[in-house]
Structure 1
Amino acid sequence: MTVTIAVSSCALFRQETGDKGAAFPFVKALTMVNQRLTELGQAIEERFKIVVTHTNSKDRDHPANNIEKYKLDIDQVYEITGEKSFVDHLNEIKPVLYLSTNQQNVREAIIAGYGAATMYQRDYQEPSDEVLRVAFDGDGVLFSDESERVNTIDGLNAFFDNEKKKEDIPLKQGQLHTFFRELVQLQQKNEKNCPIRTYLVTSRGTVSPGLRALKTLKAEKLEINEAFFLSGAPKGPVLKAIKPHIFFDDHLPHIKEALENGVIGAHVPYGVKNE
């Protein structure tokens, strides 16, 4: 099982300086996981395939130079040309996750059915490479925005009533569900020594809203390492304590909060919060 992750060179490296970009710690941790899985004796298919996309045709070697400089084990540098649409290029790569600083490309990827998120070049505290830590919001990311839509349109009380009534009905899949499932499957195949940890950091509370989220994961036999149900409290302090390599959320203020706490946030522009 090869899990293809596509990252634009503008997210991996800062274009002005060639320094490490917002996606660098995440990609570096992916290469660490590949190395550890190899040491555990896994077949070559049991790994991440990392593809760096590049659009600057005037300086084609720019990402390659930085990849060599930082000794990153990248599988492919893929040039995006004007000869066909961006989505056609993605259809060739077939990533389960695409990361870029280009908001338009990210939106096109999501419309085409790919998990995608926008990165923001800010200062961050580079996490340790011992374990890949990935944090997810729930609604609009792991799950669809169906409940969030009720909250936004009809209010908080309607949301609580909806979640209580539908507590045993699994939520539909969100934009990054496939990526999360691939992480879980890698964990399950390497149960004792897998260097991956996943986190759910959601504004849902611990009663029916939280129970519905957990029951949804259980129904799909997807285990998450740690879940934080914050009942609307700020996410920043929890994220700062977790120190994830990347945090995905559909609500831009939560991404800004993560960035303010030195955490690398990636915005998923999907659902009612982004209409």
Structure 2
Amino acid sequence: MSNLKRKRQSSTERRKHKITTNSEITMTSFTIAVSSCALFRHETGDIYFKGVAFPFVKALTMVNQRLTELRPAIKDRCVIVVIPADRQDMNHLIKNIKIYNLKIDRVEITGEKPLLDHLKEIKPVLYLSTNPQDVRDAINAGYGAATMFQRDYHEHSDDVLRVAFDGDGVLFSDESERVYKDQGLQGFLENERINEDRALELGPLITFFKALVNLQQKFILQNCPIRTYLVTSRGTTSPGLRVLKTLQGRELEINEAFFLSGAHKGPVLKAINPHIFFDDQTPHIDGALQYGVIGAHVPYGVRNE
């Protein structure tokens, strides 16, 4: 495990926890920040239960391990940072990270520092929390972020990281959703037909998605432990073609795409069983949760105004 830090520890305690100072960690463009309230369920007692973000974080550590085995000198990887919840007991948090053998790179020292100051320092491509206001603040500040919900979920295997994305309002901007809101379904379909060859603007999680694509490319000729999915309500005619052309034009490869033409996303997501599914619409997140799928709400765009 990489090293963790706690403010004003004695030298003995620093040796015990193998603390790494902030300056000793070089943050990369692949930094993932996770609030401890998403990583663990803070039940009574010293031992925390696994939280809703736990499977995703565990799978990320597997990817890092595979990269290290493949190319020991590699620098591109996911740097995982945990940001404790307010008044979190740091000793208990560090203890539980060790109990679950999570390869966390860094635990932030919260103190009185605002969340956005932490994010500005570590520059994550993704921030996950169960606190909706913190997530909205992160989105408004320009960071990819999503709200998670502490629910029961299906178990996941640790051999492949599976990440599923909605399209509009997540990977892409909400420009087409605004047309739908103003002009209805027919206006939306006509807009997509007219603009089929014009790429969609990119959305709040595109940097995170690009990071996954970059990591996948490190496993050329190897069994890649990352799979990405697009699960969208768009159909297979012009709306779907515009998405595919946007991905192709921007050289963004996705492993599988599902165009559901407005059908319920839950059954498809249950079959995929992703470690995390991102969507900007709460009804789709609720549908995923009903099927035991870990859903994360991206509060971005016209659907969330």
TM tier, shorter chain? Answer: over 0.9
d(CA) in 2 for partners of 1:2 and 1:106?
Answer: 19
Greater radius of gyration (CA): 2
2:147 to 107, 114, 118: 118
Contact 1:2-1:45 at 8 Å conserved across structures? no
Superposition map of 1:160-239 within 5 A: 160-193=189-222, 194-239=224-269
State the alpha-carbon separation in 1 of the partners of residues 107 and 65 from structure 2: 20
Does the 8 A contact of 1:55 with 1:79 survive in 2? no
Deviations, residues 132-186 of structure 1 (Å, cap 9, x unaligned): 0000000000000000111122100000000000000000010000000111111
Give the deviation of 1:2 after TM superposition: 5.2
CA shift for structure 1 position 45: 1.2
Shift of 1:55: 3.1
Q: Distance in 2 between matches of 1:58 and 1:166?
A: 50
- Asked if residue 16 in structure 1 is aligned to residue 43 in structure 2, the reply is yes
Of 264, 268, 278, 1:248 maps to 278
What TM-score, normalized to structure 2? 0.87
- Written as runs of structure 1 = structure 2, the 5 A alignment for 1:26-175 is 26-57=56-87, 59-82=89-112, 84-175=113-204
Evaluate the alpha carbon distance shift between residue 243 and residue 266 of structure 1 in structure 2; reply closer, same or farther with a 3 A threshold.
same
| Contact 2:34-2:83 within 8 A present in 1 as well | yes
CA contact (8 A) 1:131 1:195 kept: yes
Q: Which runs of 5+ in 2 are unaligned?
A: 1-27
Aligned length in residues: 274
Secondary structure of 2:78's aligned partner: strand
Looking at structure 2, the residues matched to 211 and 42 of structure 1 have their Cα atoms a distance apart, in angstroms, of 40
How far 1:199 sits from its partner (Å)?
0.1
Cα RMSD (Å) of the superposition?
1.2
CA contact (8 A) 2:176 2:188 kept: yes
Q: State the alpha-carbon separation in 1 of the partners of residues 179 and 297 from structure 2.
A: 21
